[in-house]
């Protein structure tokens, strides 16, 4: 079996090497000639998979190690009888933790408390539902909006709005000139869900108080002008926790084994988690403690700084992204913590000793 794969999929050789020949090609460079003799194609979100890529090829199975599938022409695959799998839900917790980190950083900079704010969650699937749970743990009032699920709360009336929808014709430029006003916006879904030109004008015209973008129109060639004025800007890495990426690899590995009726024997060996000890000062606000704690586990400000140093390094920053473990891998020793704070850190997934 010949397998063409994006090298940004972790453990790719370890997982698939025992199944056949694995050829690694950077995702944006995967072309028709490369896949012509391949049996399977394993990609991430940067590789468009369609008739132009696969026509005349021997490919029998395609998998994307991502939760989004807008880069894959699933109808064409079905017509050709090509098997398909995605890693739906694999990095949902990673994205939700990114949103928590962003919310706490925005609150610190804006000198407000999240418990006094309303969060609008647009899209309450795998990611959005976790965001809802974590926001409620932080004491926020939450408005949910997901028309396909029949949830129609007026989320755009919230103080802060976060988008967690797939890229469809109905969600392209869902946030545009006419509704980008008053609320702080976070987008970790797909770049074109937000009209980036309209967002630039909205921020420049003080129509919205703040914005956080992990996804952008035109990736990897994003707008330097927009990066300059968003509050936090990162290179499409919200879902890049090590745990989420490994879960994605495991899901597509098992799907490929099912497709070709092969035994699934690979199990990843994960690095151990981390331990953090903190002493809580008397009277210190829970949200200040949580911000400091989370920055020791995942520093969103460092990711923002890396992209600002060189906007052209978008793809390199993704390819060389350091190991980031999810909160549940961290064991905390908190001296002087209140029961309220302990309840919050447990609700966010941390282990507390």
pLDDT in tens, 194-218: 999 999 999 999 999 999 999 999 9
Supply the pLDDT for residue 273: 86
Mean pLDDT of 37-62: 97
The one-character DSSP state at 18 is: G
Supply the pLDDT for residue 119: 98
Supply the pLDDT for residue 207: 97
pLDDT in tens, 121-160: 999 999 999 999 999 999 999 999 999 899 999 999 999 9
| Helix H or strand E encompassing 41 | strand 40-43
Supply the pLDDT for residue 271: 81
Q: Could you give the 3-state DSSP secondary structure of residue 173?
A: coil
Rounded-to-integer distance, Cα 278 and Cα 138, Å: 19
Supply the pLDDT for residue 335: 95
Average pLDDT value over all residues in the chain: 96
Cβ atoms of 215 and 187 within 8 Å: the answer is yes
Task: Compute and round to an integer the Cα radius of gyration of the chain.
Answer: 21
CB contact burial 247-268 (16+ within 10 A = b; e otherwise): bbbbbbbebbbebeeeeeebee
- Helix 92-110 with 242-259: angle, nearest 10 deg: 160
Nearest to 192 by CA among 163, 151, 233, 230: 163
* This prediction's pTM: 0.92
Return all residues near 301 (Cβ < 8 A) that are at least 6 apart. Answer: 105, 232, 295
CB contact burial 129-166 (16+ within 10 A = b; e otherwise): bbbbebbebbebebbbbbeeeebebebbebbbbbbbbb
Is residue 58 over pLDDT 90?
yes
Mean pLDDT of 327-339: 95
Supply the pLDDT for residue 159: 98
Is residue 272 over pLDDT 90?
no
80: exposed, middle or buried (C-beta count within 10 Å: 0-12, 13-18, 19+)? middle
How far CA 28 is from CA of 34, 44, 47, 222, 240, in Å, comes to 12, 9, 6, 16, 18
pLDDT in tens, 71-123: 999 999 999 999 999 999 999 999 999 999 999 999 999 999 999 999 999 99
pLDDT classification of 270: cutoffs 50, 70, 90 = confident
Percent of the chain having pLDDT more than 70?
Answer: 100
Is residue 43 over pLDDT 90?
yes
Higher pLDDT, 68 or 287: 287
pLDDT classification of 327: cutoffs 50, 70, 90 = very high
145 phi/psi in degrees, rounded to 5: -140, 120
Question: What positions carry a catalytic annotation?
Answer: 190, 219, 236
How far CA 176 is from CA of 33, 195, 199, 222, 293, in Å, comes to 39, 5, 7, 18, 35
Supply the pLDDT for residue 33: 97
Rounded-to-integer distance, Cα 221 and Cα 315, Å: 9
Supply the pLDDT for residue 316: 96
Q: How crowded is residue 204: how many other Cβ atoms within 10 Å of its Cβ? A: 11
Cβ atoms of 24 and 15 within 8 Å: the answer is no
170: exposed, middle or buried (C-beta count within 10 Å: 0-12, 13-18, 19+)? exposed
pLDDT in tens, 221-269: 999 999 999 999 999 999 999 999 999 999 999 999 999 999 999 998 8
């Amino acid at each position: 079996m010949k397998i063409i794969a994006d090298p940004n999929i972790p453990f790719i050789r370890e997982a698939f090497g025992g199944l056949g020949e694995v050829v690694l090609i950077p995702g944006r460079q995967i072309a028709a000639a490369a896949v012509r003799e391949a049996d399977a194609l394993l990609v991430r979100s940067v590789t468009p998979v369609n008739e132009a890529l696969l026509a005349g090829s021997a490919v029998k199975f395609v998998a994307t190690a991502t939760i989004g599938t807008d880069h894959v022409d699933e109808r064409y695959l079905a017509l050709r009888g090509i098997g398909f799998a995605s890693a739906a839900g694999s990095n949902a917790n990673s994205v939700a933790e990114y949103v928590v980190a962003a919310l706490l950083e925005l609150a610190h900079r804006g000198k407000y408390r999240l418990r006094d704010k309303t969060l609008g969650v647009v899209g309450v699937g795998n990611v959005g539902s976790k965001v809802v749970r974590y926001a409620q743990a932080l004491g926020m009032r939450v408005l949910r909006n997901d028309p396909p699920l029949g949830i129609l709360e007026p989320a755009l009336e919230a103080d802060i709005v976060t988008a967690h929808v797939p890229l469809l014709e109905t969600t392209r430029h869902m946030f545009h000139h006419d509704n980008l006003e008053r609320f702080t916006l976070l987008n970790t879904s797909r770049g074109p869900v937000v009209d980036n030109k309209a967002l630039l004008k909205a921020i420049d015209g003080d129509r919205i108080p703040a914005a956080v973008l992990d996804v952008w129109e035109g990736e990897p060639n994003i707008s330097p002008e927009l990066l300059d004025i968003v509050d936090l800007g990162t290179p499409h890495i919200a879902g890049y926790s090590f745990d989420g990426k490994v879960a994605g690899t495991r899901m597509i590995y098992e799907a490929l084994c099912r497709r070709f009726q092969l035994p699934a024997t690979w199990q990843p060996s994960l690095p151990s988690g981390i331990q953090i000890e903190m002493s809580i000062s008397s009277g210190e606000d829970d949200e200040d403690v949580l911000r400091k704690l989370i920055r020791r586990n995942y520093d969103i400000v460092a990711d923002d700084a890396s992209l600002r140093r060189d906007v052209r390094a978008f793809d390199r920053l993704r390819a060389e992204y350091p190991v980031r473990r999810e909160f549940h891998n961290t064991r905390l020793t908190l001296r002087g913590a209140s029961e309220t704070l302990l309840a919050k850190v447990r609700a966010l997934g941390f282990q507390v000793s």
